[in-house]
Structure 1
Amino acid sequence: MTENKTLYAAYAAKIEAVLAALAAEGALPADTSFANVAVEPPRDPSHGDLATNAAMVLAKPAKTNPRALAEQIVAKLEAEPSVTSAQIAGPGFINLRLEHSEWLAELTTIQSSGDDYGRSSMGEGRVVNVEYVSANPTGPMHMGHCRGAVVGDALASLLEFAGHKVTREYYINDAGGQVDVLARSAHLRYREALGEDIGEIPEGLYPGDYLKPIGEYLAKELGDKQLGEPEEEWLPYFRAEAVEKMMDLIKSDLAMLGIHHDVFSSEAALHLAGKPDEAEAWLRAHDLVYDGVLEAPKGKAPPDDWEPVELPLFRSTRFGDDQDRPIKKSNGTWTYFGADLAYHMQKAENADELIDIWGADHAGTVKRIKAAVAALSEGQGTPIPFDVKLVQMVQLMRGGEPVKMSKRSGNFITIADMIEEVGRDVVRFTMLSRKPEAQMEFDFAKVVEASKDNPVFYVQYAHARVRSTLRKAKDAGFEPSAESLDLLGDEELALIRTAAQFPRIIESAAKAREAHRIAFYLYDLAAELHAFWNLGNDDPQKRFIVEHDKALTQARLFLAQAIGQVIRNGLDVLGVEAVESL
């Protein structure tokens, strides 16, 4: 890829050069960091084209007030031929106005960059492990997994687009009691497949019909060999086979969403490899695990069955937790936290940074696992950045009423059910149309509406309009051309200014680890495109195709082509198709 310097990057470089010159002149300390200097659009477009906080963030190290430093910065920026004005606003912000040719040149940058427009080298190839979904392998993917799956996958794509190397990981929780329940449920379906009337599914077993194919497969493989055998004889085999088949189903469901993981890590394999024991030994050697007794549960009096037991405790209070946490149970088996701690230690061996996508119901464990990773990485000499993104559940609705559960699954709506009804793109974009930590309703009726209130339709319609316009223009003998871009007016320039923000939005979203910012941006860009389009309804001279003005038409088609490219690139990051027509 040949990297084309985008407008915001070019002006960030110009401002940094000005600051470096001031440092050379002694107006700034020689070792001043410019890391917090931002170049962005002003909040009020009437104030200019670009704004920078340089004077605000550097005044303190310069031992001066922001406006005084801003005056020095402005004096140098006004010498730039492409800057028509540089003005100080408020306590020291600097607003710049640029020659129109700067914005027009950005259209050619979009055109020459194509699918790489907005791509960044910001990540510098750092390896980021993004773990997401990690559902228990006890049933098909359902709505409870969907939002986290999409958020994690879009974040992974965003980080790759911003220059990181990403490992997409799925942690298979195949070592707990739930997989024994799965094995027993599969054995019941095995007996059913051999002709036994199993009656009602017993309480405590998984009732969904999705286990019937597994029972049929096992009946075909085993015949009646396992009928009448004691549980301890058949349980390990049924556990392994059921988990394998459930993971096949889960992978198939995720593929319907366009999601594919690079690594599937098994909790059972983690234990078999002795990783929790290794983690405990390392933590004890560094005085981070000790044998102690937990405090009694808070309340007026401890429960009747509570008794003090000495357990190995991780010193999580040293890292901000409210109490130290046991890594083993009283029977000697590992707590979920103990195994999770070892798992993160394993992940950190092959990554520069860790990101976990969890359901909001796991909020209570964030502090302790962050403490564990902080301890482990600190002890290993290189602190590993670790972030946990919490995702709220989604309430399924139909016309404002809660959706009834799926018969096939037993007690939930599957991802397959959703995609079959509304399509993958609708599911993915809708899951990213709100911040992950915000509550969400997914109304099957509303998400397929052809209206401005439906974000996925609104954005895809914008791209479809562009493609339709280009096809229509070609049939009429017009082609996009950059030769007469100077014919574009203020309305077109406003659209270009928004399109030009895409690379900046990519980098800011990647830094914040928030893929939904791309969805928000695309909606705003689509709104501006639709608004410009609508001008042509009242004034034919404002249309993209003005039949009697070839030069203006070619320039507007070049603009339309660029806007379509930006929308397409953004949708690609989100894993949503840029449709050709609607």
Structure 2
Amino acid sequence: MNLFTDFDNRIKNVLEGLEIVREKRAELDFGRISVEPPRDQSHGDVATNAAMVLAKPLGLNPRALADLIVEELKKDPQVAEVAVAGPGFINVRLSVAYWQALLAGMIRQGTDYGRGSLGTGRKVNVEYVSANPTGPMHVGHCRGAVVGDALANLLGFAGYAVTKEYYINDAGSQIDVLARSAFLRYREALGEAIGDIPSGLYPGDYLKPVGEALAEEFGTTLRAMPEHQWMPLVKDRTIDAMMAMIREDLAALNVHHDVFYSERSLHAGNGAPIRTAINDLTFKGHVYKGVLPPPKGQLPEDWEDREQTLFRSTEVGDDIDRPLIKSDGSYTYFAADVAYFKDKFDRGFDEMIYVLGADHGGYVKRLEAVARAVSEGKAKLTVLLCQLVKLFRNGEPVKMSKRSGDFVTLRDVVDEVGRDSVRFMMLYRKNSEPLDFDFAKVTEQSKDNPVFYVQYAHARCMSVFRQAAEAFPGLDIGSLDLAASIEGNIADPSELQLLAKLAEYPRVIEGAALAHEPHRIAFYLYDLASAFHAHWNKGKEQPELRFVNDKNRELSIARLGLVNAVASVLKSGLSITGTAAPDEMR
């Protein structure tokens, strides 16, 4: 149960029962009413702005309306105290019985506590990473991979039908360059001295195994062919090898996609899918023949000082119209983007989310324009931009990787600090803000290392169950009805404070899903871990608060229920971030 949804309903029921509200109900906007935790926990458990929102249209002073609401709320058996604060805020303190019932429900739901129906099964496509298959994943891809994957997990938990997708950029000039680079390594594998890698080709050692595989498969045959013959053969093998490497790198980060969509499929049949998409836009009145004025600054590759087939994107929110077909009849890169979006829309997705690097900021308006034109406003498109990641070790910038040629690979980072540290820390800052990643700090075993602090909280929970088994020989924890043990036992203010933090979880899930901000889950988990560790430390000073009391079996079992709820929420949240919930910390 979502505590805040429950009290939102209770407060609205109170309002519906007030005669003055019933008389003007059609004029009132209940949607502006909020029910949330008060900023200061000492003020209560729940706060609402209902009186302040509705006072003016009702012709009342906010405090006068608040007094009417308070008098009705006092009749609710689940309300222990209720008071008006400031200009008309209403603070509610809940009964201990309500908290105990809420905790029992959490225990019964386990790791499904907080799982919601917000998405109502709406189909969402989350496309992320989508790096050119020209080399290993670098640390810049890492942040987008984690943000996209965690967002997809979050949306799935919130009730959306999510597809995780990777768009393989396997068409275009960069793939020709990749094939030529692999062919050079093929010649090297045959024993030729190739010298320094020519400028413009990919220099990394990662292409050596590709060249060796080509030599083993084809022998010297390829070397005797002209480029137009060996190019498609080398291109296919090299793309396959690069994608196999990328999949391995992503798997090391615990990232797994449902769909790998090839850009080359859009060019099949002489570009039939692209032609179909352009015809669709033409039918809807979004395509015309014209000449674009030269843009300011550096000229883009698809600009021509002659007539082209253009997308009338300015009429659907873009800054300039976009070329679809060049004067020579070939399709632009943007035309493939249009066809790809149309393919997603035709697959039935209600919302498309693109997770891109910050350097793709210029793509946002044109993609939004495509969405409006292709779907006629029926599909929602969201673009999340991930800012740069800077790597440090003890405050000093990290040097580049030799294997990649000119950048730090994702695998370098994962192999050094582990995927849990990488994933959690990539989420411990909003994606739109730059991130400093220090190898030394993310491996510290201290409160200053968020991933350690959160995982340690889960491990501590598990240690409590081991302590209980030792304190009460023969106790079968697995067969205990922990939910039934709560009533009458969990009542200490410190326990209720921890329980209040657990009660925020469904609300955090909904808010993070609506805002497309998975970093909120990481922040919440740190706060929950902090509340749990604080309560644990109180037990050192006040033995009566300890989770396991070998002189009071019944109370200990009830407190195991509280620990179980903490562990379940930690495990649930860590699962959304793609991070493990360890039973022990070594």
**TM-score of the aligned structures, taking structure 2 as reference length:** 0.92
* CA distance in 2: counterparts of 1:24 and 1:174, whole angstroms: 66
CA contact (8 A) 1:22 1:28 kept: no
Q: 2:92 aligns with which of 80, 91, 96?
A: 96
| Alignment counterpart, residue 423 of structure 2, candidates 404, 411, 428 | 428
Specify the alignment match of 1:354 in structure 2. 352
> TM-score, normalization: structure 1?
0.93
Q: What secondary structure does 2:193 align onto?
A: coil
Amino acid at match of 2:341: H
Instruction: Report the AA paired with residue 444 of structure 1.
Output: F
Q: What is the alpha-carbon distance in structure 2 between the residues aligned to residue 422 and residue 247 of structure 1? A: 24
**Residue pairs, 1:245-256, within 5 angstroms:** 245-256=241-252
1:159 and 2:162 matched: no
Q: CA deviation at 1:259?
A: 1.2
1:526 is aligned, of 524, 529, 538, to 529
- One-letter code of the match for 1:324? D
Deviation string 1:30-74 (CA, Å, 9 cap, x unpaired) is 486644433211111122111123344455665666545444433
Shift of 1:361: 0.6
Q: Say whether residues 1:416 and 2:411 are aligned partners.
A: yes
User: In 2, distance between residues paired with 1:82 and 1:420?
Assistant: 52
Which of 116, 120, 144 aligns to 2:116? It is: 120
1:542 matched residue in structure 2: 545
What is the aligned partner in structure 2 of residue 373 from structure 1? 371
User: 2:516 — aligned with what?
Assistant: 513
2:265 corresponds to: 269
The Cα shift of 1:128 comes to 0.5
Q: Output the CA distance in 2 between the equivalents of 1:487 and 1:503.
A: 21
Q: Does 1:234 align with 2:230?
A: yes
Report how far residue 451 of structure 1 moved. Answer: 1.0
Establish whether residue 445 from structure 1 lines up as the match of residue 445 from structure 2. no
Tell me the distance in 2 between the aligned counterparts of 1:372 and 1:426: 37
The verdict on how the C-alpha distance between 1:342 and 1:114 changes in structure 2, with shifts beyond 3 A counting, is: same
Residue 322 of structure 2 aligns to which amino acid in structure 1?
A: R
In the other structure, the counterpart of 1:578 is 581
Query: Superposition RMSD on alpha carbons, in Å?
Result: 2.4
Q: 2:323: which partner in 1?
A: 326
Q: Distance in 1 between matches of 2:182 and 2:210?
A: 7
Q: 1:246 to 1:22 in 2, by over 3 A?
A: farther
The answer on whether the counterparts of 1:39 and 1:52 sit within 8 Å (CA) in structure 2 is yes
Q: Which residue, 34, 42, 62 being the options, matches 1:38? A: 34
DSSP 3-state at the match of 1:95: strand
Q: In the aligned structure 2, how far is the partner of 1:71 from the partner of 1:329?
A: 70
CA deviations on 1:246-300 (whole Å, 9 max, x unpaired) are 111111111111111111111111122522222222222222222222223337x
Q: Distance in 1 between matches of 2:330 and 2:63?
A: 63
Match of 1:405 in 2: 400
Deviates more, 1:554-563 or 1:226-235: 554-563
Question: Which residue is 1:343 aligned to?
Answer: 340
CA contact (8 A) 1:158 1:506 kept: yes
1:568 maps onto 2:557 in alignment:
no
**Identity rate, percent:** 54
Shift of 1:167: 0.8
Query: Which deviates further from its counterpart, 520-529 or 561-570?
Result: 561-570
Q: One-letter code of the match for 2:336?
A: A
3-state DSSP of counterpart to 1:26: helix
Aligned positions, number: 572
Q: Residue type of the partner of 1:328?
A: I
Gaps of at least 5 residues in structure 2 are none
* CA offsets 1:5-45 (integer angstroms, 9 cap, x no match): 34333223323433444599624424866444332111111
Cα distance in 2 for residues equivalent to 1:184 and 1:58: 69
Deviations 1:536-579, CA, capped at 9 Å, x for gaps: 33333333233334344333332222111111111111111101
- Report the counterpart of residue 310 of structure 1 in structure 2: 307
Conserved? CA contact 1:23–1:29, under 8 Å = no
- Opposite residue 125 of structure 1, the aligned amino acid is G
Residue 442 of structure 1 aligns to which amino acid in structure 2?
F
Q: CA deviation at 1:131?
A: 0.5
CA–CA separation in structure 2 for the residues paired with 1:275 and 1:63: 60
1:23, 1:156 → 2: CA distance? 46
- Whole-angstrom distance in 1 between the partners of 2:380 and 2:33: 23
Return the match for 1:213 from 190, 209, 213.
209
Counterpart CA distance in 2 for 1:66 and 1:132 is 48
Q: Secondary structure at the match of 1:333?
A: coil
Aligned to 1:29: 25
C-alpha separation in 2, matches of 1:312 and 1:70 = 62
Q: Is the alpha carbon distance of 1:342 and 1:62 closer, same or farther for their aligned partners in structure 2, counting shifts above 3 Å?
A: farther
> Cα 1:405–1:330, aligned 2, differ >3 Å: closer, same or farther?
farther
Deviation per CA, 1:483-509, whole angstroms, max 9, x where unpaired? Answer: 565353111111100011111111111
User: For residues 171 and 255 of structure 1, what CA distance do their matches in structure 2 show?
Assistant: 17
Letter in 2 for 1:162: A
Q: 1:368 to 1:23 in 2, by over 3 A?
A: farther
Contact persistence 2:371–2:381 (CA under 8 A): yes
Corresponding residue for 1:15? Answer: 11
3-state SS of the aligned residue for 1:534? helix
Match of 1:460 in 2: 455
Letter in 1 for 2:359: D
Whole-Å separation in 2 of the counterparts to 1:265 and 1:240: 15
**C-alpha offsets along residues 97-127 of structure 1, whole Å, 9 cap, x if unaligned?**
1111111222211110012111101111110
Structure 1: runs of 5 or more not aligned: none
Matched-pair contact (CA < 8 Å) for 2:100–2:486: no
TM superposition shift of 1:193: 1.6
CA contact (8 A) 2:15 2:21 kept: no
- Are residues 287 and 56 of structure 1, via their aligned partners in 2, closer, same or farther at CA, if it must alter by over 3 Å? farther
Deviation at 1:424, TM superposition (A): 1.0
Paired with 1:195 and 1:530, the residues of 2 have a C-alpha distance of: 62
- Give the secondary structure class of the aligned counterpart of 1:396: strand
Work out whether 1:494 is the aligned partner of 2:492. no
